[in-house]
Amino acid sequence: MAGFITGLILGIATGILLVYLFFRLFFFRIFFLEDKSPFSFIDTCDALRVEAERNNWKVPMVHDLQETMLKWGKKISQIRICEFCKPEFAYEILSHDAEKLAASLMPCRIAVFERKDGKTYVSLMNPKMISLFAGGIISRTMKNAACEMEAIISKALGK
């Protein structure tokens, strides 16, 4: 009996360790998406905005983090966070009290940034992955938003 309990404890501990290592090694690859843009920083930002608006998405705000950080005495390369909102998707979540907890994920945000190699990249949180943990209205809405956002990014980047 003692051998069984020892084996059970070791099995559970091993399982926990493997899950931890999996998330530690692959978290960013699973929960964040990234694409290299063939365009300049400004052209990438413009292409994303145009493509979003063409697909009935709104662009309520663009945060220039380089400018903001410079105000605080910190110099970084170009990076903007572009907020995209499709009112129909937002309404699906915000019109239900129980779903409002997901408001912190809204609007959808896409980062456009330059790395030291001079290339421009686009990244966003993976809404499809997050939707797996949500369920219900949030899950369905995030999946739909994710499909549209991926299409917008692909078209904007000429893929």
User: Would you call the peptide bond into 60 cis, given omega within 30 degrees of 0 as the criterion?
Assistant: no
CATH of domain 31-156: 3.30.310.70
Q: What is the pLDDT of residues 50-66, one digit of tens each?
A: 999 999 999 999 999 99
> Which residues have C-beta within 8 Å of that of residue 96, sequence separation ≥ 6?
137
Q: Where are the domains of the chain?
A: 31-156
pLDDT at 13: 78
Q: What is the rounded average pLDDT of the residues 81-93? A: 95
From 8-12, 52-56, 136-140, the region with the lowest mean pLDDT: 8-12
Q: Is the pLDDT of residue 104 over 90?
A: no
Q: What is the pLDDT of residues 109-129, one digit of tens each?
A: 999 999 999 999 999 988 788
Distance CA 84, CA 155 (A): 15
pLDDT at 149: 93
Q: Which residues does residue 129 pair with via DSSP β-bridges, in sequence order?
A: none
> Which residues have C-beta within 8 Å of that of residue 131, sequence separation ≥ 6?
138, 139, 140, 142, 143, 146
